[in-house]
Structure 1
Amino acid sequence: MSAEDVVRSRSRYPLLAVPGFGWFWFADGVSIFGTYITAQALRLLALLTLGASSFELGVLRAAQWLPYLLFGLVAGVLIDRYRRKPVVVAADFIRAAVLALIPLAAAVQVLTMPLLVGLVLVFGAVSLAYDVAHQSLLPNLVPPPLLTRANARLEQSAAVAQVGGQVGAGLLIKLLGAPAAILIDAVSYLISGVVITRLRVAERAIPAQPPPRDMGSELREGLRWVYRHRMLAPLSWATHAWFLCTSMVATIYVVFVVSDLGFDAAIYGLTLAVGGVGAVVGSSIAVGLGTRLGIGKAIILGRWLAVVGYASIPLAHSGAGGALVLCAGQFVFWLSVGIDSPLEMAYGQSVTPDRLMGRMRATIRSMNRAALVIGAPLGGALALWCGQRPTLWIVVAGIAAAALGLTGSQFRHARLEESSSNR
C-alpha cells in the first residue's frame, strides 16, 4: 500500500491503516507511563530519603543527560550505520535491569547519592541510544504525510501517561515508597521491549561489508545539516535555550513546592498531573493549528504559551489558592509542549533524508540534553544563591528571550508542505 493509499484509507483515522503503528504506540505509552513515575520517585527518593540539597538534585538530573553531551553526536553517526529496531529493543531491556538495581540497593541499605547518580548516569547512556534509534525508526514505519499525526498521537499518549504517572507516582510513593515505584518503571521497559521485538519494520538494507567510513566526516555532515539549514537552525538554537531554562525549573520546582510552599508529595504530583491534561489538549489541537497557522507559527505560539505558564509559578503562595495557581501554570506550560513537540518532531523528520535521520535527531537531542546538563545544576546553584522565586523569574526571562528570537527568524514562515518537498 502506497503512502497516498494509507492517507486516503480510513480518512478520519488513517494511522489505523499503518501496519505496526498501533503496537509501536502501545509500547511507547507503556514505557513513558513508568518513566513519569520514576521521574518523580527519583527526586523524592533523593530529597526525602537521602537528604539531597537543591544542588545535589541538579547533579542527579544532570547525570541522566550527561551522556547526551559526551556521546550524543557519535551515537547519531552509529545509529545511521545500523538497523534501529534491535537498538530500541536492547535499550529497553538494559534500562529495565538498571532501574531494578535502585530498589535492590535500597532494600539492602547500600543506596547512597553517589551510587544513585552512577546508576542514573548508566541509565542515561542507554537512553541516548534508545532515543536516537526510536525517533529515527518512526519514519520507517509511518509515511511522511502522516508523521505529524503520528507524533501527535505519541505526544497524546505521553500526556495521558503524565497524568496517570504523576498521580500514580504520588500515591505509590506514599503507599509503597519511592523504590517500589521505580521498580514499576523497570517492568514497563520490559513490556515495551517485548512488544517492539514482535514489530515488523521495513528498515533500509545494511550491507554485510559496509564501505570504510570516516566518523569525523559523517559527524560534520550531521552538524552542517542541522545548523546550516535555514529553518532547522533557528528552531534548534531556540529549542536549546528552551531546554536550558526549563531544566532549571525542573530542578527547583519540587523544592519550591514541597519545602518553600509546604505542599506534600500528593499535591506536587497533582500539579504535574494537571500539566499532563494540558499536554493532552495541546497534542489534540497540534495538527489543526499546524495546518491552519503553518507549522512555524504554531510552534512559536507554543513557545509563548510556555512563557505564560512558567510566569505563573513564582506568583504562587501557600494554601489552596497557591495550589490552583501552580496547577494553572503547569496546565498552560504543558499545553504549549503538547502543541510544540509533535510539530517540531514531524518537521525535522520530514525535512531530513533517511541517511541523515539519526544524526539529525542525535545532534538536536544531544545539544538539548547538553543544555539540561548545564541548566539543572545551574538552577540549583542559583536557587541556593538568590532563592527559588528569583531564580524562577530569571528562567521566565530566558524563555521569553528564546521565544522572541524564534519569532523574529525565518522559521515563522515554515510549513510542513515545504519540508516534505525539500526532503
Structure 2
Amino acid sequence: MSQSAEVATDEEVAQKRSLWHDRNFLTLWSGQALSQFGAQISMLGIPVLAVVLLEATAFQVGVLDAAGLVAFLVIGLPAGAWVDRMRKRHVMIWADGVRALAIASIPILWVTGSLHIWQLYAVAFVIGVATVFFDVSYQSIIPSLVKPDQIAEANGKLESTQQVAHLAGPAFAGGLISLVSAPFAMVVTSFTYVASFVALLFTRDHEVRRPAHEHEPLLREIGEGLRWVFGNRYLRRIVGTTGTSNFFNTVSMTMLPIFLLRELGMTAAAMGLILSLGAVGGVVGAIATPHIVRWVGEGRAIPLSAIAFSVVAVFLPLAAMTPAIAFPLLVVQGFVASFTVLVYNITQVTFRQRITPPRLLGRMNASVRFVVWGVMPIASLLAGLLGTWLGIVPTMWIGAIGQLASALFVVIGPFWLMRTLPGAAEEADAGEVDATA
C-alpha cells in the first residue's frame, strides 16, 4: 500500500471517529449535561413550591407557567435576528449567567420570608428570556462545532443526554425536595448553570460573524427568516405539527402538578419518579433513532413518530378513571411519549439544520420557536382558566384530544413518499422554497 493511500485511510478513519473522541464537543456536552440535569430540578421544584408551599390556585399555576414561556412569543423573532449578528457561544455564556443568578434568588427570598407568587412569576420570566437566547443559539451552534456529516450524531448525543437528565433529574429532584424543601433545591440548579457557563468558556467554535455591512434592518431580517421557514413545504408542516402538539400538551402539562398532587393524591417524590421512569423512553428513543431512520427512512420517521406521540397522549387523563393502576399507566404513557418525541425531534431538527444556510440558522430556529413555543404561554393561561372553570380532569381531556389532531400536518404531506429528505443543495436546486408561499 502506498504512503498516500495510508494517509488517506488514516484521514478517513479520523473523520469517522465518534464525537466521544472530540475533546471540544465533549467540553460543550459536559456543561449541557449538568445544566439539563439542574433544569429538571427547577422544572419540578418551582411548581411544587407554588402548589404546596404557596398554595397557588389553578389560575396562578397557569400564570406561572406562562411567565416562563411568554418570552418565546414576545421576543422570539427579534432574538433570532440578534443571535445571527452575534457569536452564538457568547450569547449562551451570558444566558447561563443570568439564569444562575435568577434561580439563586428563590432560596434567598424564601429564607428572608419575602417569597410570594408574583416573585416566582418574575423569576420565571427572567429565566424564560435568557432561555430564548440560549436555545436559539444552542440549536444554531452545532454546525460550527462539528463536520456536516456529524450533525445528526451531535444532535443524537445531546438529545440522549437531555433524556438521561429527564430520567434521573425528576426522581432526584423529588427526593431532594422532600429532604431540603423546594426552595433550597434551587441551589443545585444554580450551580449547574454555573458549570455550563464555565464549560462554554472553554469550548471553541469556528463560527465567523457576519460583517456589519451585511446586516439588513431588523424587520427585514426577521421577515427573511419567516419566509425561509414558511416558504418551505417541509418546514411549515413540521411547524404545524410541533406547534399544535405543544399547545395542547402544554394545556395538559400545566395542570399536571395539580392533577398528580391533588386529584390523585401523590407525593412530590412519586411525581418525580413517574417523570423519571417515563423519561427512560427518551433515552431508548435517542439510541434507537438512527436504526429507525435506516429501517423506515428519514421522511417516514417523522409522520410515524408524530402519530404515536399524539395517540398516546390520551392515556394521561385516563389515569383519573383508573386510580388503582394510575402509577404504572402514567409511567407507560410517559415512556412511549418520550420515545416517539425523541425520534421525531432528532430527525426533524437535524433536517432543519442541514438545509438551512449558516447565515439563517438563528432566524430559522427563532422563527420555528416563535410558533412552537410561542403558543405555550397562551396554552398555559388557557389551562389555568379551564382548570378553574371546568375542573382539572376535563382540562386534561381537552389537552389530550387536541393532541390527536397535531399529527395531521405531517401525515397529510410529502413525507410518506421519501426515505431520505433533501439536503441544502437539493432543496435549492429543486426550488422547494417558495418565498411567496
TM-score by length of structure 2 reads 0.91
Does the C-alpha gap of structure 1 residues 268 and 226 become closer, same or farther in structure 2, counting only changes over 3 Å?
A: same
2:296 maps to: 293
Secondary structure (helix, strand or coil) at the match of 1:20 reads helix
| Cα deviation digits, residues 110-150 of structure 1 (max 9, x gap) | 11111110111111111111111111111111222221221
Counterpart CA distance in 1 for 2:416 and 2:10 is: 31
Q: Percent identity?
A: 32
* Amino acid across the alignment from 2:272: G
Is contact 1:9-1:17 (8 Å) kept?
no
Counterpart CA distance in 1 for 2:35 and 2:112 is: 27
Superposed, 1:73-222 pairs within 5 Å as: 73-207=77-211, 209-211=212-214, 213-222=216-225
**Does residue 37 of structure 1 match 2:41?**
yes
**Does residue 244 of structure 1 match 2:236?**
no
Q: From 277, 293, 306, give the equivalent of 1:274.
A: 277
* Amino acid across the alignment from 1:183: V
**Does residue 261 of structure 1 match 2:264?**
yes
Deviation at 1:6, TM superposition (A): 7.8
Aligned residues: 418
Is contact 2:245-2:310 (8 Å) kept?
no
Is contact 1:309-1:331 (8 Å) kept?
no
Q: From 75, 79, 83, give the equivalent of 1:71.
A: 75
Bigger radius of gyration: 2
Counterpart CA distance in 2 for 1:380 and 1:126 is: 24
CA-based RMSD = 1.9
Secondary structure (helix, strand or coil) at the match of 2:241 reads helix
Is contact 1:308-1:333 (8 Å) kept?
no
Q: From 46, 51, 61, give the equivalent of 1:47.
A: 51
Does the C-alpha gap of structure 1 residues 211 and 49 become closer, same or farther in structure 2, counting only changes over 3 Å?
A: same
Counterpart CA distance in 1 for 2:240 and 2:12 is: 33
**Does residue 9 of structure 1 match 2:14?**
yes
Is contact 2:171-2:272 (8 Å) kept?
yes
Deviation at 1:387, TM superposition (A): 2.5
| Cα deviation digits, residues 299-352 of structure 1 (max 9, x gap) | 222222212332111221475521111111111111112211111211110110
**Does residue 344 of structure 1 match 2:351?**
no
Is contact 2:84-2:359 (8 Å) kept?
yes
Counterpart CA distance in 2 for 1:270 and 1:56 is: 25
Secondary structure (helix, strand or coil) at the match of 2:136 reads helix
Deviation at 1:211, TM superposition (A): 4.7
Counterpart CA distance in 2 for 1:92 and 1:352 is: 26
Deviation at 1:224, TM superposition (A): 0.3
Is contact 1:235-1:411 (8 Å) kept?
no
Deviation at 1:16, TM superposition (A): 3.1
| Cα deviation digits, residues 14-63 of structure 1 (max 9, x gap) | 22354511111111111000001100000000001111111111111111
* Amino acid across the alignment from 1:171: G
Secondary structure (helix, strand or coil) at the match of 1:110 reads coil
Does the C-alpha gap of structure 1 residues 415 and 138 become closer, same or farther in structure 2, counting only changes over 3 Å?
A: farther
Deviation at 1:370, TM superposition (A): 1.2
Counterpart CA distance in 2 for 1:137 and 1:416 is: 24
Is contact 1:72-1:128 (8 Å) kept?
yes
2:310 maps to: 307
Secondary structure (helix, strand or coil) at the match of 1:296 reads helix
| Cα deviation digits, residues 136-181 of structure 1 (max 9, x gap) | 1111112222212211111111111111110011000000011111
| Cα deviation digits, residues 350-407 of structure 1 (max 9, x gap) | 1100000000001111212211111112122222222222222222221111112320
Does the C-alpha gap of structure 1 residues 211 and 138 become closer, same or farther in structure 2, counting only changes over 3 Å?
A: closer
TM-score by length of structure 1 reads 0.94
Superposed, 1:313-328 pairs within 5 Å as: 313-317=316-320, 321-328=325-332
Counterpart CA distance in 2 for 1:414 and 1:221 is: 27
Q: Gaps spanning 5+ residues in structure 1: where?
A: none
2:432 maps to: none
Is contact 2:100-2:194 (8 Å) kept?
yes
Counterpart CA distance in 2 for 1:412 and 1:383 is: 38
Superposed, 1:270-419 pairs within 5 Å as: 270-317=273-320, 321-413=325-417, 416=420, 418-419=422-423
Is contact 1:231-1:414 (8 Å) kept?
no
Does the C-alpha gap of structure 1 residues 60 and 412 become closer, same or farther in structure 2, counting only changes over 3 Å?
A: farther
Counterpart CA distance in 2 for 1:5 and 1:17 is: 15
